[in-house]
Amino acid sequence: MNKEKKQSYIKEMTAQFEKSEAVLVTHYQGLSVKQIDNLRKQMREHGIQFKITKNRITKIALEKSRCKDLSNLFTGPTAVALSEDVISSAKILTKFSKENENLKILGGIMGKEILDVAAVANVATLPNLDEARAKIIGILRSPAQKIVSILLAPASKIAILALEKSKK
């Protein structure tokens, strides 16, 4: 890689680190090209970028961004997941790493908070935005349904009594 390409790579990676809400760092050694392509496809479907990095140059880019605390994770064959939605990226990576033991999650950053492996696993168990909305709607609808059933219960009992009386 010549000097111009290196400078371009550093600028690009710095910009991506700055605009991403979530950056998760992984080791991918032992994964086949087909497996990596499959992972990238899953990530793209959720608007997540999965990028194999050049460690030495990426560390330079990290120093110019808010993610500088992650530089110690960039050793060996490293790839990063860059996204706006940390929950989706954590879920996809956690699921994929369970199916393929060669993908190892090292940690990451969410907003300004540094995440270790356990924290990434905890984030992966959280509901995503759509699931959270569905739960909230279910909670809000539940009391209304109970009130309606209580109000309609006496009327239904009267109707049943009237039906029984009409049969006699």
156-165 tens-digit pLDDT: 666 676 777 7
Give yes or no for a contact between 76 and 29, defined as CB atoms under 8 angstroms apart: yes
Which pLDDT belongs to residue 157?
66
Low-confidence spans in the chain with pLDDT less than 70:
144-159, 161, 168
The two tokens of residue 50 are 């999965």
Which pLDDT belongs to residue 151?
64
Which pLDDT belongs to residue 156?
65
Q: Where are the alpha helices (DSSP H) in the chain?
A: 3-19, 33-45, 55-63, 86-99, 117-124, 129-167
Instruction: Answer yes or no: pTM beyond 0.75.
Output: no
Give yes or no for a contact between 17 and 62, defined as CB atoms under 8 angstroms apart: yes
Which pLDDT belongs to residue 85?
82
Which pLDDT belongs to residue 38?
92
Surface-to-core class of residue 108, CB atoms within 10 Å of its CB (0-12 exposed, 13-18 middle, 19+ buried): buried
CA distance 159 to 153: 10
